[in-house]
A = this chain, B = another copy of it.
């Protein structure tokens, strides 16, 4: 049986979606059709939303689950008339918080207030630019400005990890690919030696690496299992020899890898 879940918001929907996904993940035996519906910020959009919810209820033969973070009372009342089972995120927590903080929330006085990611705009853009400019060993003379330098074989996940850390946390992360040439010398490239305390290793299972490289350069020596296995083994040896902490990216998401690296390196995010 498939059940529909809606993440509904008058803003981006990120809070409703993040919490809703976490909660639904606790029900492993149930399969959900998940739909995010951001910017439901007018009575008209709310009425159209009710129709979508009721259509899903009829199709599924059971009522959809609604996770919502809508502030406007009129819009919430319209949604409440739908066939959905409402999980009302804000009202559940705001009244205990109001009591603890001895303060009224914007919500309870009917005024929306966004998270204001925007105050970090310039810092974030700078961090993304830093990741792009210092991607894949393109430049090595700005490593003094880096918070972190990721090292590992080509296509082990360094670039997405650096970009995620830049975007979410404003971390300036460079990355440097360890290529066969570095391996033959069996030592760290000179440009990295000076910044050993900033280095963090990424490694990956050779099977996964082979699959990823084959998407890029099918049937090449670069993508062959033998080559991938050789490179991963050499790099893991290098990490051990040089005492570089590392994570195997194979079974983790970019979010998980990023969070683990920050904990292990003790780097504080630049956004709060």
> Which A residues fall within an 8 A CB radius of B?
3, 11-15, 18-19, 21-23, 25-30, 33-36, 38-39, 65, 69, 85, 87, 89-90, 92-94, 96-97, 100-101, 103, 105-107, 113-118, 121-122, 124-126, 128, 132, 157, 159-160, 163-164, 167, 211-212, 215, 251-256, 258-260, 262-263, 269, 272
Contact = CB atoms under 8 A, between A and B. Distances in A.
A11 B30 CA distance: 22
Given A92-B92, A126-B215, A252-B118, A15 B14 contact: no
List 5 A-B pairs, minimum CB-CB distance, nearest first: A117-B253, A26-B105, A12-B259, A15-B22, A18-B18
Contacts of A89: 19
Given A93-B92, A255-B12, A21 B263 contact: no
Given A12-B259, A160-B125, A22 B115 contact: yes
A65 B114 contact: no
A268 B36 CA distance: 9
Given A12-B255, A269-B36, A23 B160 contact: no
Give chain A's interface secondary structure class: helix
Contacts of A103: 27, 29-30
B90 A23 contact: yes
Given A122-B212, A125-B212, A163-B167, 9 more contacts: A3-B101, A18-B18, A19-B93, A23-B93, A25-B114, A26-B94, A27-B106, A65-B97, A128-B159
Contacts of A39: 259-260, 263
B38 A263 contact: yes
B113 A254 contact: no
Contact of A117 (B126, B163, B254): B254
A272 to B, nearest CB: 5
Contacts of A159: 128, 132
Contacts of A27: 97, 101, 103, 105-106
Contacts of A118: 251-253, 256
Contacts of A105: 26-27
